């Protein structure tokens, strides 16, 4: 958190609104961030951050023509000014975005957290979440299976905290690929926390799991009346641009169901 004074304001806004999110799989230096900021999304989730075995942080481009860059080393930002400005711009200027999340790989985090390590039976996700909480961040998860494990993590991270202070304050649920049959209302009941189902947009990687905006609407409107969802989200911006789809069409679905 950059500013202690800004934080409560951003947080109230975030709490009031339903979640309308999209994963930024495409390199933010290449994607149409104007469209991402102005189509109605309020949460962007940057994908491709990877933690190396020494704790350095890479931003993997995942985008033809762009290179992977080291953005963190020795505890400080070492990426370019252009990238820093681009990321900052997501929540500034003309934008509907009130929350930016960073998604990262797990393996090296597990190793780093476990050496020397927290108390033996604390899952590393709990240790990592607590560390993030200490520096002012929230922690979110995007499970697709193993609900009992995540219930445990959630219970430990939020133990003793009032709802507005929950450290694990959001759950995204993968409802595509092998997880296409995940049922968000069931997960909500099990976890005791509202979830944000994720739907994969039309794509040429696994076309069978791609949903048009109309298909996304159908799925979300089937789940939502069963139990109020926290919002909805998409995997991912790279496919939207590659397949010539419309950010606005997809986001309008979210805006109409989760105003």
Ligand X SMILES: *[C@@H]1O[C@H](CO)[C@@H](O)[C@H](O)[C@H]1NC(C)=O
Smallest gap from Cβ 91 to ligand X, in A, equals 17
What does the alpha-carbon distance between residue 20 and residue 9 come to, in Å, rounded to a whole number?
Answer: 19
- Residue 52 burial (CB < 10 Å; 0-12/13-18/19+)? middle
Position with the least CB separation from ligand X: 35
Task: Report how many helices (DSSP H) and strands (DSSP E) the chain contains, helices first.
Answer: 10, 10
Smallest gap from Cβ 41 to ligand X, in A, equals 12
Binding mask 13-32 for ligand X (x = CB under 6 A): -------------------x
Q: End-to-end alpha-carbon separation of the chain, Å?
A: 27
| Residues 220, 213 contacting (CB under 8 angstroms) | no
| 29-36, long-range: CB < 8 A, 24+ apart | 29/66, 29/82, 29/83, 29/86, 30/61, 30/63, 30/65, 30/66, 31/237, 31/238, 31/241, 32/241, 32/247, 33/86, 33/89, 33/90, 35/247, 35/248, 36/90, 36/97, 36/237, 36/247
Which CB atom, from 24 or from 58, has the smaller least distance to ligand X?
Answer: 24
Which CB atom, from 30 or from 130, has the smaller least distance to ligand X?
Answer: 30
Smallest gap from Cβ 39 to ligand X, in A, equals 7
Which CB atom, from 75 or from 244, has the smaller least distance to ligand X?
Answer: 244
φ, ψ dihedrals at 55, nearest 5°: 95, -10
Which CB atom, from 32 or from 62, has the smaller least distance to ligand X?
Answer: 32
Smallest gap from Cβ 197 to ligand X, in A, equals 25
φ, ψ dihedrals at 33, nearest 5°: -70, -25
218 binds ligand X (CB under 6 A): no
49 binds ligand X (CB under 6 A): no
Q: Which of 29, 35, 49, 151 forms a contact with ligand X (CB under 6 A)? A: 35
Which CB atom, from 37 or from 138, has the smaller least distance to ligand X?
Answer: 37
Q: How many residues bind ligand X (CB under 6 A)?
A: 3
Q: Which of 6, 9, 34, 228 forms a contact with ligand X (CB under 6 A)? A: 34
Smallest gap from Cβ 110 to ligand X, in A, equals 38
Q: What is the CA radius of gyration of the chain?
A: 18
93 binds ligand X (CB under 6 A): no
Smallest gap from Cβ 233 to ligand X, in A, equals 19
Instruction: Tell me how many degrees the CA angle 187-191-195 measures, rounded to the nearest 5.
Output: 55
Which CB atom, from 63 or from 125, has the smaller least distance to ligand X?
Answer: 63
**Interacting residues toward ligand X by CB under 6 A:** 32, 34-35
């Amino acid at each position: 958190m950059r500013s202690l004074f800004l934080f409560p304001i951003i947080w109230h806004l975030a709490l009031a609104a339903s979640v309308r999110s999209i994963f930024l799989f495409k390199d933010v230096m290449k994607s149409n961030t104007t469209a991402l900021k102005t189509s109605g999304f309020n949460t962007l989730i940057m994908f491709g951050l990877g933690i190396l075995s020494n704790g350095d942080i890479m931003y993997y481009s995942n985008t033809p023509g762009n290179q992977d860059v080291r953005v963190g080393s020795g505890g400080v930002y070492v990426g370019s000014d252009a990238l820093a400005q681009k990321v900052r711009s997501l929540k500034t200027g003309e934008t509907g975005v009130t929350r930016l999340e960073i998604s990262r790989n797990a393996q090296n985090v597990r190793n780093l957290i476990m050496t020397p390590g927290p108390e033996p039976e604390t899952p590393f996700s709990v240790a990592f979440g607590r560390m993030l909480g200490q520096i002012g961040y929230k922690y979110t998860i995007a499970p697709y299976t193993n609900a009992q494990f995540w219930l445990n993590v959630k219970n430990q991270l939020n133990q003793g905290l009032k709802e507005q202070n929950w450290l694990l304050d959001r759950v995204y649920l993968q409802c595509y690929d092998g997880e296409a049959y995940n049922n968000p209302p069931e997960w909500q009941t099990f976890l005791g926390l509202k979830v944000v189902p994720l739907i994969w947009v039309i794509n040429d990687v696994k076309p069978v799991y791609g949903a048009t905006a109309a298909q996304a609407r159908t799925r979300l409107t089937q789940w939502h009346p069963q139990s109020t969802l926290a919002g909805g989200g998409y995997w991912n911006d790279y496919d939207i641009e590659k397949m010539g789809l419309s950010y606005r069409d997809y986001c309008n679905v979210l805006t109409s169901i989760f105003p």
